[in-house]
Amino acid sequence: MIEEKIEFRALSIDEAADRLWRADRVLILFHVNPDGDATGSAFALRHTLEAIGKRAWCISPTEVPERLLFAMTDTQGSSLCESIPSDFVPDLIVSVDTASPSQLGALYEVYKDKIDLMVDHHAKGIVYADNYIVPGASSCGEVLCDIVDILLDRAGADMPHRVCELIYTALSADTGCFRYNNTSPSSHTLAARLLSCGVDTADINHKLFGIKTLKQMQVEHAGFERMNFYAGGRIAMIAFPYDLKNQYGATDENLETLIDVARCVKGVEVAAVIKQPTEENKFRISMRSSCNFDVSEICAHYGGGGHERAAGCTVSADSILAAEMAMVVAVEHKMQDDKK
């Protein structure tokens, strides 16, 4: 029996806003191991919907990391599926900042036939619902802000201060505090608008970029000692196996900045971190490039996605070394192809 291929619609911004406007109870999904863009976008949408008289709830396959708890609403203590109130039955399900089904983890199996709308900004991924995607946008927060403006305008309401803070969080997180090449004139224009609304940008940026736990710094040190270089130093890889994670008593959150250790070395053009979250031989890959090299093309091949210079995926391999070698081969082959 041939499985029927589902065709999903690319929506206009007004169509995307209409779906949210017509709903009374909205469930908001965001990706595994949430970053500042996903968390900020999800809760900005929740606060917006509540401001115009609707109910909303945000869930992720994993908890929001401790460093981003400031972006969660005070009335929601957990981001896991189990936190959904018993009387909350959504009439619309939307995902934000989630480029492919694999990034929804176990949530995708629960909601895959029920997702009504995906709002995103990633250029590459796997479309799994009717969507409003703006690949040129710096962040999902920037995309979402335009939808929020439409909803609030229809309701005759001003943007709540909390929504301003959360959109700024999303924007600053995904632009690396406006250091990355996805930063555009519109990114700065939006930041100026939010700053004029009284957002304490210094405080938010300190929480996003200025604080590291001792455990995180210990993990970075261990990652530095395990870093391998390839292609004459143009490629840097850090493999962080499950047993090492246990040795340091580290959480997935503690491993987030390992990619920064790999990519900050002079001469490195492509950096990758291979993490083993559990004893299972499934490895989570984070990739970054500091040149005109599209890492999202490699990650999309493995069912992941992202941006030209920042992407991720999950791969299965016999060992973490095998996973590392697969990434090295993929990057080297692409480097050779890009020269042609």
Residues in the chain: 340
Is-same-fold flag (13-209; 214-339)?
no
Q: Which residues partner with 30 through β-bridges?
A: 96
**How far apart are alpha carbons 84 and 148 in whole angstroms?**
23
Question: Along the chain (340 residues), what's the average pLDDT of each consecutive run of 10 residues?
Answer: 65 98 98 95 98 98 93 89 96 96 93 96 92 95 98 98 98 95 95 98 96 93 97 97 96 91 96 96 95 92 87 94 97 90
* pLDDT at residue 123 in the model: 85
Please state at what angle helix 140-155 crosses helix 185-196, rounded to 10 degrees: 50
The backbone torsions φ and ψ at residue 324, rounded to the nearest 5 degrees and listed phi first, read -60, -45
Strand (E) or helix (H) holding 136: none
Residue holding tokens 């869930």?
Answer: 59
Q: Give domain 13-209's CATH number out of 3.40.50.12280, 3.40.50.720, 2.60.40.10, 3.90.1640.10.
A: 3.90.1640.10
The domain locations on the chain are 13-209, 214-339
CATH class of 214-339: alpha beta
* pLDDT at residue 3 in the model: 40
* pLDDT at residue 307 in the model: 83
DSSP H helical ranges for the chain = 13-22, 36-51, 106-111, 140-155, 161-174, 185-196, 201-209, 214-225, 242-247, 258-263, 295-301, 320-339
